[in-house]
Amino acid sequence: METKMKMEKFGYNKAWKAKMLMECSYPVIFLLGVLAIGLFIVWPSGGVAEFKWWMPLLVIGLIIWAIIEIGKYRKALAFLVELSEETIRVGDKRASWADISKVESRRAFGDVPAIILHTNSGTSLNIPAATESLPYIKGFIDNRTKST
């Protein structure tokens, strides 16, 4: 009988995901505000009130800002740290425990790396500070790398 390898998965914590979602809402709220000004003030005024020349540029900028923030939020939702007895995967990078040459831990906040794993091949795996169960992950890493 084949035993199934236990894989633990961790993403960003809920507070960080909520912050990222709020950052997505800012440009959308501003766009809705511009739309409301247009619908309730500019267009009903019959030409008395009008948008300035820079308003289309502002709208384009807000749309670009919204796209960037939504992209960041989607990346945050897709981010995973996977731990197993043989390997660790951070985002799209994977390394075996035997391949890890150095572990750096530092104080950090948000998506700044709190744990950096350096491999023999020169790759770095960065685990952000906003990862859920970070103390557990750090202990798991310390147990696997101290024995090698």
**pLDDT tens-digit map of 73-115:** 999 999 999 999 999 999 999 999 989 999 999 998 888 999 9
Helix (H, G, I), strand (E, B) or coil at 129: coil
Q: State the pLDDT at residue 116.
A: 94
* CA-based nearest residue to 97, from 135, 50, 145, 56: 145
Higher pLDDT, 75 or 2: 75
Number of Cα atoms under 13 Å in the Cβ half of residue 138: 16
By percentage, how much of the chain surpasses pLDDT 90?
Answer: 74
Find out whether 114 and 128 touch, Cβ atoms under 8 Å: yes
Find out whether 85 and 96 touch, Cβ atoms under 8 Å: no
Q: What is the spatial distance between Cα 40 and Cα 13, in angstroms, rounded to a whole number? A: 40
Band the pLDDT of 7: cuts 50, 70, 90: confident
Helices in the chain by DSSP H: which ranges?
Answer: 14-37, 55-78, 134-146
Q: Is 70 exposed, middle or buried (0-12, 13-18, 19+ CB in 10 A)?
A: middle
CA angle 78, 81, 87 (to 5 degrees): 135
